[in-house]
Structure 1
Amino acid sequence: MLGFQPYETFQLLIETGGVDRTNTLLIAACDAYARRGKPTVPEMEQFETLAARLFPTAGPQARAKGAAILGRAEVLSPALEQLVVDNIGEDLIPFLETAAELSDQTMLDIIARYDVPACATLAARANLSNVVLAKLFQMNSRKVYRALAANTAITPRGAYLSALARSAQMDHLVAEALGRRKDFDAALLAPAFFDLSDSHRIKVIQAFSNRETPVAPIARTIEQLSVASAELTKALMKLFSENRRPEVTRLLAQITGLDEVRCGQIAHDATGAALFVILRAFGATAYDGLKVLIHATSHDTERSKALADYATLFGTVSSESMAYLMSAWRGEVNLLELSKPQYQPFTQPSRRTAAATTAAPAQNPVVEQAIEALARIGARRAS
């Protein structure tokens, strides 16, 4: 087999040659098998028998070296995979990353050991079976969930969707990984809103565009204050224009029921994403809302595009959906209800629409009107 002498000869060499000769035989046999390409079934079975004798008898360094060489073979049976995993030592992670195929049994054995780095490596592999995925999702490990969240070969649905959404609430890196995915409903990241990057916060809000939502628990409170929506936007614009953000914090705490720490984050959020949610939830129009956002935000070179995005969102995102988002911040709703058919977006965004929006961000008439109105206010104050 593979140019070697018959198995009986190897058996004799192993038994009479000592550890040094066994080490040499192991490395030579593993190298020959790795160079063989795709072996026949009899050759693989014969090598399994030989390797099962050599590995236990060889020294630790030879076992690790032989396993590393064997791990580069084109085809490994489950028994040979197990020998590699058991003996490869520090090279286990590279082996799990580069192995073309791994049997379910090998992966389940690794998961059973609760070797977190190795399991995280498995979680990043493509073509994982449902049996293996189920075991990985049962692990209480942030590293594993981060790998699962970033693995685009895994379709987030059913129990996997629920598990990823819950993990995103506890780990901002999971939330960020899910925010980068196009196949994940960004609305489910609402509880992690304040841990997300600026662009992903906008994605969460955009996920509520043209979408029905369940009735928010905070809706009744908002109804009582909605009659004063104009007064609210005027008060916020005045406070932001005078940079009185601590007073903004107290005002938001009074009307939203959020704690002051969270309201302080909203008041000092230079992107305006969280403030947009508050304004729209309380019924602010694009015209009035943008005047507040212009004073509250600082976008520098991206200012016009950001304001144009908000102007569009005022038209596509309903007050009810932003009230629902606020209730998610307060932990009052089960966001997984949004996966039901009746709460899916009415229209799916197209590449053409997205391209048109980004092509001319500064041409939005609502933005221009809000800026002109503020300019007139400034001119009257100056005179």
Structure 2
Amino acid sequence: MLGFQPYETFQLLIETGGIDRTNTLLIAACDAYTRRGKATAPEMEQFEALASRLFPIAGPQAKAKGAAILGRAEVLSPALERLVVENIGEDLNTFLNGAKELSEQTMLSIVSRYDVPGAATIAARPDLSNVVLAKLFQMNSRKVYRALASNTHIVPRGAYLSALARSAQMDHMVAESLAKRSDFDAALLAPAFFDLSDTDRLKVIQAFAHRETPVAPIKKTIEQLTVANAELTKALMKLFSENRRPEVTKLLSQITGLDEVRCGQIAHDVTGSALFVILRAFGCSAYDGLKVLIHATSHDNDRSRALADFATMFGNVTPDAMAYLMSAWRGEVNLLELAKPEYKPFTETSRRTPSSLAPAHNPVVEQAIEALARIGIKRAS
């Protein structure tokens, strides 16, 4: 068979040769099958019968070696896949990752026995059926969810979208993977905002641009304080210019209802993204908001560009949307409501217009920079 002696000769050698002969035969047969390339149906059937006799009676090392060799074959039937999975030992994940094709039956067998490393390897494959996906999403494993979040072959919608969004709230690595995906609504990462990188935080804010949101529970509180909007921005600007960030923390805690730890993160965030959310939620205009941000942030290399980005967001993101984002930080809203049609963004960025051109020559930015230059800016370190 397959360049070796006839099948009957193999059977005779198995029965009379002892375990050493069996080990040799197993490795030789697996090697022959792998070298054969794409075996015909009769050849595969014949080899299945032979392998099913050899594997149970071979020694542990021969089983592992034979399975590793067989795992490199171009085509494996479900029965042969099962023999590989059962006998390959420590190289199982290498096989699961490298196999050109895996049967649904083999994938389900790995998942059903709650083999977390194996399931995580399967979760990264591009050829997952809906049945396998459903089983993977039912696993309570960070490793599996991290693999699912990074797998761009999985479309995040329906129950899968909900599961990934919930997982992002508990695992920053899932949140980071989802933030890098263009097919995932970054607004759903609001609860993980403070676990994300500076760039990804801006993506979350930008996901609320040109978008209606449900009424935020914190909105009534904000409405009661907006009458003192000018005093608020003036107080923040003074505190930041004098680098009195602990006092900023206390002030933010009083007006937002967020805990002091979170407010401390906002007060010490030199990128300004979290502070922007607060300022815009309380109705600050671009002009007043930029005056606060320029004192609170550190933009030594490219200050004007960073300000231009914030100015653009002041124009594109509504106070109600940022109030909703604040409520998400407080755990008061169900973010999955944003998946409803009425809350989808109603404008799309044109691919033909580079986003870098949008803030160019923004008069609000230029006026703010000129005014601040006149009064002399003392930036916080």
> What secondary structure, in the 3-state scheme, does the structure 2 residue paired with 1:301 have?
coil
**Which of 367, 375, 378 in structure 2 is aligned with 1:377?**
375
CA displacement at 1:155 relative to structure 2: 0.2
Q: List gaps (5 residues or longer) in structure 2.
A: none
CA shift digits 1:322-362 (9 cap, x unpaired): 00000000000000000000000011122233x2x424756
| 2: CA distance, partners of 1:148 / 1:302 | 36
| 1: CA distance, partners of 2:37 / 2:7 | 21
Amino acid at match of 2:98: T
- Percent identity over the alignment? 82
CA shift digits 1:199-218 (9 cap, x unpaired): 00000000000000000000
Greater CA deviation, 87-96 or 273-282?
87-96
Q: Does 1:13 align with 2:21?
A: no
1:41-80 to structure 2, matched below 5 A, reads 41-80=41-80
CA displacement at 1:373 relative to structure 2: 1.3
Amino acid at match of 2:206: Q
| Counterpart residue number, 1:208 | 208
| 2: CA distance, partners of 1:352 / 1:266 | 35
| Counterpart residue number, 2:362 | 364
CA displacement at 1:304 relative to structure 2: 1.9
CA shift digits 1:145-188 (9 cap, x unpaired): 00000000000000000000000000000000000000000000
> What secondary structure, in the 3-state scheme, does the structure 2 residue paired with 1:140 have?
coil
| 1: CA distance, partners of 2:278 / 2:299 | 19
Amino acid at match of 2:27: I
| Counterpart residue number, 1:179 | 179
Checking the alignment, whether the CA contact within 8 Å between 1:162 and 1:336 is kept in structure 2 is: yes
The alpha-carbon distance between structure 1 residues 75 and 136, as it changes in their structure 2 partners (threshold 3 A), is same
| 2: CA distance, partners of 1:359 / 1:65 | 59
| Counterpart residue number, 1:32 | 32
| 1: CA distance, partners of 2:165 / 2:44 | 44
| 2: CA distance, partners of 1:300 / 1:137 | 45
Greater CA deviation, 174-183 or 229-238?
229-238
| Counterpart residue number, 1:247 | 247
Checking the alignment, whether the CA contact within 8 Å between 1:119 and 1:144 is kept in structure 2 is: yes
> What secondary structure, in the 3-state scheme, does the structure 1 residue paired with 2:346 have?
coil
* TM-score, normalised relative to structure 2: 0.97
CA shift digits 1:104-133 (9 cap, x unpaired): 110110111211111111000002000000
| 2: CA distance, partners of 1:303 / 1:148 | 38
Checking the alignment, whether the CA contact within 8 Å between 1:304 and 1:362 is kept in structure 2 is: no
| 1: CA distance, partners of 2:303 / 2:137 | 41
1:216-365 to structure 2, matched below 5 A, reads 216-353=216-353, 355=354, 357-359=355-357, 363-365=361-363
Runs of 4+ in 1 over 4 A off after TM superposition: 359-362
Q: List gaps (5 residues or longer) in structure 1.
A: none
| 1: CA distance, partners of 2:109 / 2:5 | 34
Checking the alignment, whether the CA contact within 8 Å between 1:304 and 1:361 is kept in structure 2 is: no
| 1: CA distance, partners of 2:17 / 2:62 | 15
Amino acid at match of 2:277: V
| 2: CA distance, partners of 1:223 / 1:119 | 49
User: How large is the RMSD of aligned CA atoms in angstroms?
Assistant: 1.2
| Counterpart residue number, 1:158 | 158
Checking the alignment, whether the CA contact within 8 Å between 2:137 and 2:163 is kept in structure 1 is: yes
> What secondary structure, in the 3-state scheme, does the structure 2 residue paired with 1:214 have?
coil
CA shift digits 1:39-89 (9 cap, x unpaired): 111110000000000001111111111101101110000000000011111
CA displacement at 1:280 relative to structure 2: 0.2
Checking the alignment, whether the CA contact within 8 Å between 1:211 and 1:343 is kept in structure 2 is: yes
> What secondary structure, in the 3-state scheme, does the structure 2 residue paired with 1:277 have?
helix
Amino acid at match of 2:149: A
Amino acid at match of 1:165: A
